[in-house]
Structure 1
Amino acid sequence: MKKKILTILVMVAAALAAGALPVSAAGNWAVTYLDPMPARFAPGTTYTLGFWVLQHGNHPYEGDLGVVGLRLTGEGGKELTFPGTPLPEPGHYVTAIAVPEGSWRVDGIQGPFEPHLVGTLSVPGGLKVRPVSTDLVLGGGKDYWGDIRPPGFPRGEGAAMKAAAAPSDPAPAAAPSVTAPATAPVAAAPAPSGGSGVPVYALLIAAAGGALLTLAASRLSRRGRREPEPPVDEGRDTLAFPG
C-alpha cells in the first residue's frame, strides 16, 4: 500500500513540474530570422522574402520541420499565411507575400515549435523587428553554412553572433543580431536563470517537489512503525480495589 502511495506522489509531482514548465524551458523552441528585407513595403505589391528557422536559435532542426512560413495578423484578427519553400541551405526558406494596407503582426511558423514573434509590419512602411532575447542562450556549435548563411552568423565553429541593433521602420529590416545565438522565443518574457542556465523557477519547483516527497515518505515510514509498549515492572506493588 505504501509503495502505491509513493508511486502516486511521484507521478503527481512529475505532472506538476511538467505542467509548470513552459516548452521553452525544456529546450523545445526555435527562432525565425529574416534575410535583409525591402526598405519599404507598398500595398498589394509582391515581395520575395528569405528566412531561417533555427532550433535554439543557432542550428537547423534535424528532421522534417513540416509546415513553415510567415503569418501576418492584422486588425480584427485577419490572418494571412505565406508558406515557406526550402532552399538548399539547412534551415533556410523563401516565401512570396503581398500584403494589404495596414499594421500587421508578423510571426514565424516553425513546424512543431511554437510560432516566433518576428515583429510588426506597416504597409505602406517598413518592418520593425523585435530583438531576440539573449537571457537563455546555448553556446555556439557547429558551423552549418558556407557563403550563404543566417544574418549575423560569422564563419567558424562555435563563433558568436555579431552584436547589432535591430532595424526599425523605415530602414531595411533584417534579423536582429545578438552577442550569442539566442535560444528563447521573444513572445514571452524570459525567466531568470541560475548559474547552470536552468530557470530559477524550475529549480524552485524541483526543490519543492523533493521536499514534498521526503515529507510524505517520512510520514508513511512513521505510520508503518508501531511504538513499542512500555516495559512492565513486575516488582512494583499491585493495587487491588474492592468491587
Structure 2
Amino acid sequence: MRRLLIFVCLVGLQFGLISISKAGGWATTPISNLPDTIVAGQIFQLKFSVLQHGTKPTNGLPANPIRPELTLRHVASQQVKTFYAQQVGDVGHFQSSLQLPIAGEWEISILPLPFGNSEGEVYRITVQEAPPATDNWWYMGLAAGGLALAVGMGWLIKRISY
C-alpha cells in the first residue's frame, strides 16, 4: 500500500511539473494606433504594444528580444504579406511601416516571436482604392500660358501708351 501511495504521488508530481512547464510564454498585441484612412499602394504606420500575460509591456529578454511578425491576408484573394516590427519608444511599444498593394478587406495578425504559442487577435481593416493619377501638366501649361499672355498684354499696353 505504501508503494502504491508513493507511485501515485510521483505520478501526480510529474503531471504537476508538466503543467508548470507549459505555463506562461504568452502575450497579447493590442493595436494602439491605426490610421483613419488606408490607401492601396501608400505606406502607413501600424503601432501596437506587446503585453506579457496581457498586462505588462515587454521587449522580451536581453538575450532573446521580441521580434513581432505581422501577417496580413487579403480576404478576397487570399494574398498574404509578412512584415516585421521594430521596438520604438517605451518598453513594449512597436511600429511597422506597411504597404498593401490592393484595396479591400485585410486581416492582420501579430505574432510576438519568441512567444510562439500566442494566439493573437485578428484585426480587420479596409484598404481604399488609390485615387486615379491626374496629369497636372495640362494645368501647368494653361497657367503658364495665362501668365505669359498677361505679361505680354501689360507690355503691349505700356508700349502703346507712349
Pick the TM interval, shorter chain: 0.5 to 0.7
Over aligned residues, Cα RMSD in angstroms?
3.1
Q: What is the alpha-carbon distance in structure 1 between the residues aligned to residue 55 and residue 9 of structure 2? A: 39
Greater strand percent: which structure? 2
Which of 7, 12, 32 does residue 10 from structure 1 map onto?
A: 12
Task: Give 1:69 deviation, angstroms.
Answer: 3.5
Q: What is the alpha-carbon distance in structure 2 between the residues aligned to residue 123 and residue 46 of structure 1? A: 12
SS in 2 for 1:10: helix
Unaligned runs of at least 5 residues, structure 1? 126-243
Provide the TM-score with structure 2 as the length reference: 0.58
SS in 2 for 1:116: coil
Greater helix percent: which structure? 2
Counterpart in 2 of 1:95? 96
Structure 1 vs Structure 2: percent identity of aligned residues?
A: 23
Counterpart in 1 of 2:107? 105
Q: What is the alpha-carbon distance in structure 2 between the residues aligned to residue 60 and residue 4 of structure 1? A: 43
Provide the TM-score with structure 1 as the length reference: 0.41
Task: Give 1:83 deviation, angstroms.
Answer: 0.4
Given that residues 107 and 115 in structure 1 are in contact (C-alpha distance below 8 angstroms), is that contact kept between their aligned partners in structure 2?
no
Moved over 4 A (4+): none
The residue correspondences of 1:63-142 to structure 2 (distance < 5 A) are: 63=61, 64-75=64-75, 77-99=78-100, 100-113=102-115, 114-124=118-128
Q: What is the alpha-carbon distance in structure 2 between the residues aligned to residue 83 and residue 68 of structure 1? A: 6
Task: Give 1:77 deviation, angstroms.
Answer: 4.2
Task: Give 1:106 deviation, angstroms.
Answer: 1.1
SS in 1 for 2:121: strand
Counterpart in 2 of 1:183? none
Task: Give 1:54 deviation, angstroms.
Answer: 1.3
Task: Give 1:57 deviation, angstroms.
Answer: 2.4
Given that residues 30 and 53 in structure 1 are in contact (C-alpha distance below 8 angstroms), is that contact kept between their aligned partners in structure 2?
yes
Task: Give 1:65 deviation, angstroms.
Answer: 3.4
Q: What is the alpha-carbon distance in structure 1 between the residues aligned to residue 47 and residue 84 of structure 2? A: 11
Q: What is the alpha-carbon distance in structure 2 between the residues aligned to residue 78 and residue 9 of structure 1? A: 48
Q: Which of the pair has more CA radius of gyration? A: 2
Q: What is the alpha-carbon distance in structure 2 between the residues aligned to residue 66 and residue 36 of structure 1? A: 19
Task: Give 1:11 deviation, angstroms.
Answer: 5.9
Given that residues 72 and 106 in structure 2 are in contact (C-alpha distance below 8 angstroms), is that contact kept between their aligned partners in structure 1?
yes
Given that residues 65 and 110 in structure 1 are in contact (C-alpha distance below 8 angstroms), is that contact kept between their aligned partners in structure 2?
no
- The aligned length equals 119
